[in-house]
Chain A
Amino acid sequence: MQPTFIEILRRALDEELARDPAVHLLGEDVAAGGAFGVTRGLAQKHGSTRVRNTPISEAAITGLATGAALCGLKPVLEIMFIDFATLSMDCLVNQTAKYRFMSGGQLRVPLVVRTQAGAAGGAAAQHSQSLEAWFIHVPGLVVVAPSTPAEAYGLMKSAIRLGEPVLFIEHKRLYTMKEELAEGAELPPIGRARIARAGTDVTVIAYSAMVHSALAAAQTLQEDGVSAEVIDLRTLLPLDMPTIAASVSKTHRALVAHEAVRNGGVGAEIAARIGAELFDELDAPVLRVGCGFAPIPFAPELERALLPGSADIVRAARKIMGLAG
């Protein structure tokens, strides 16, 4: 039976705990398995000092993890919902991200902050957000957002071993996704995107759960005779512009799709960079697909009405291609 995203991620954490005694997991309820069960059983296996519950004190536990990282540990801190990372912001932005720079390279922060984001049905306005854009604005942070269980496995291991502060954003809608893990596969490097589907006519740049909407859209577009290439960014900061440039130089058309709102989003950054660096390659403006500009509503009909999906990507791609409707 194929393992789920949660099970594969747990395996990655389990293996890293076993491999490196400096790795420690901490966060609210992590010893009890965590809100979504990602860390279930790990405290029993690795001991309650390696997998440790904390009080509901996001500001303090983010500082705690950062201070420990300065002193030889490799903490993996869980912030239960990205919505609560607002309470970690001072430390992440003012301390964690800047420590290496402000100390002139004397210190570094090998820290992974695991969090989950996105809408998945009725979690409403304070448990559904996609706030990744706030973090890509901060020099010194690394932001990773995996799209599949196997990707999450490899990227988590790479993130723990990287030696930089990494915000690792899991999408709650992906948690039940199942996938076979290829044994012994090479770990994906942080900072490198992947081509999720090759194509020739339009580049669709996505990450996290939106990669699946992009792949579904590519299937639909193929029936219209449009060949879409789908890039799974994997790392949002720093951005893998060489991979984007290679694709856009081939297709000459691009759109960026994410679940976050368009205003000031990752898509805005990518569109600006494509415009500035690849203007001569473009046959059409770069379009963005994103969430309507409103908080995530509670009622299922309203949530569905707001969230972007594959139909929005198809529509945007057709527009770029100059096709009707």
Chain B
Amino acid sequence: MTEPTLADWQEMYAALWRIRLFEGHVQRLAAAGEIPGFPHLSTGQEAVAVGVCTQLARDDVLFTSHRGHGHVLAKGSDIEATFAEILGRQNGLCGGRGGSMHLVDAANGVLGATGVVAGNLALAAGAAWAAQAQGRTNISVVFFGDGATGAGVFHETLNLAALWRLPLLFICENNGYAEFTSREEHSNVKHVSSFAAPYGIATQTIDGNDLPTVFAAAALAIESLRRGAGPYLLECMTFRMAGHYVGDSQQYRSKEELAEVLEKCPIERLKRYLVERGVNPEELDAIGARTKIEVHQAVERALAGPRPDPATVLEFVYRAPALAAIQG
């Protein structure tokens, strides 16, 4: 992708807000008991989602983690359908069968979030292999947290992806926490990018809260993948503004650490970047205000959607009619 224009940056500024506001509604409605289960918010990590996904084509496939709302939105999935799925409604992406941790929007290349940490890595490698085997040029992108590096399948997948030169982009969102446990407590390896070198995988560790930095690094990585240079691991150092899940009191984090929120906020940082380049801050505020209405209206439509019919609970287990008839 060529250097973004000011209009592109403003689009991305809106995309950051879209995720921030969306997660705000998730937090509000989860606390109010309107959302079943325990959603995980990506608040504070928006720049990674937007910096990477903005540059993906519709047929590039995306696999994400339990903290995946932002990636799905940044890939361009419908706000209402995404929110409705998190609400468990029939108008949701998966008809309420998946929920927050299992968002799928196949037509938009979103092939799935997973509730099992590291469970999506090998699936993404398989999608990359399918593209390679069928001579297609689309790439596969997988988002995961630093906690996933504790799983064996992370290392297995790095080996396989490098060995087969798969068009697979590993995006690690290193927010310093595996659930409640800090990186220092769960690994001696400070940077996830260190794992790439032994397999000969190209890698970079970057400031994941600075959108221009993420955009430039992702552009480089994607270009390299499309050239057929094999997998790439981009480690984005980021900051989880919210807890592990909605309701997490975060007693394991210091006041000083949480006070860094504003300084690290990717929205504030992009705003400063754009204002320094001559954009009128009021123009940016107007974008924020417009996005607020857009998200609010989509959430209202999602909330007005029907609940799934209990009589359909056994659907979608098997497709073959002969099997569905005897599935009990």
Chain A residues within 8 Å of B, Cβ to Cβ: 24, 49, 54-55, 57, 59-73, 75, 90-91, 94-95, 99-108, 139-140, 142, 162-164, 189-192, 238-242
Contacts and interface: CB of A to CB of B under 8 A. Distances in A.
A72 B128 CA distance: 11
24 contacts: A55-B156, A57-B159, A60-B125, A60-B160, A63-B122, A63-B126, A63-B157, A64-B157, A68-B129, A68-B130, A70-B111, A71-B127, A90-B119, A90-B153, A91-B119, A102-B94, A102-B112, A104-B92, A104-B95, A105-B95, A106-B107, A108-B319, A190-B320, A240-B326
Nearest to B134: A72
Given A61-B160, A104-B94, A140 B317 contact: yes
A99 B97 CA distance: 10
B106 interface: yes
B312 to A, nearest CB: 10
Given A70-B123, A107-B104, A64 B129 contact: yes
Contact of A100 (B119, B127, B130, B317): B317
A241 B128 CA distance: 40
Given A60-B157, A67-B140, 16 more contacts: A63-B125, A63-B157, A67-B122, A67-B130, A68-B126, A70-B126, A95-B119, A100-B317, A101-B317, A103-B102, A104-B96, A106-B106, A107-B112, A139-B327, A163-B320, A238-B328
Nearest to A273: B328
B316 A100 contact: yes
A139 B317 contact: yes
Interface string B75-95: 000000000000000001111
B197 to A, nearest CB: 18
A99 B102 CA distance: 9
Interface string B285-314: 000000000000000000000000000000
Given A95-B114, A106-B94, A107-B104, A239 B326 contact: yes
Residue of B102, B104, B130, B327 with most partner-chain A CB within 10 A: B130
B259 interface: no
A140 B315 CA distance: 11
Contacts of B131: 71
A238 B119 contact: no
Contacts, number: 173
B98 A63 contact: no
Contact of A67 (B127, B316, B320): B127
Contacts of A71: 61, 111, 126-127, 130-131
B32 interface: no
Contact of A189 (B104, B160, B318, B322): B322
A238 B122 contact: no
Contact of A164 (B93, B95, B97, B323): B323
A57 B155 CA distance: 10
B121 interface: yes
B258 interface: no
B124 interface: yes
B123 A164 contact: no
Given A63-B126, A72-B130, A102 B153 contact: no
Nearest to B102: A102
Contacts of A60: 121-122, 125, 153, 156-157, 159-160
B91 to A, nearest CB: 11
A185 to B, nearest CB: 19
A57 to B, nearest CB: 4
Contacts of B130: 67-68, 70-73
Given A100-B316, A107-B104, A191 B157 contact: no
A91 B126 CA distance: 12
A63 B157 CA distance: 9
Given A66-B123, A91-B122, A239-B326, A103 B97 contact: yes
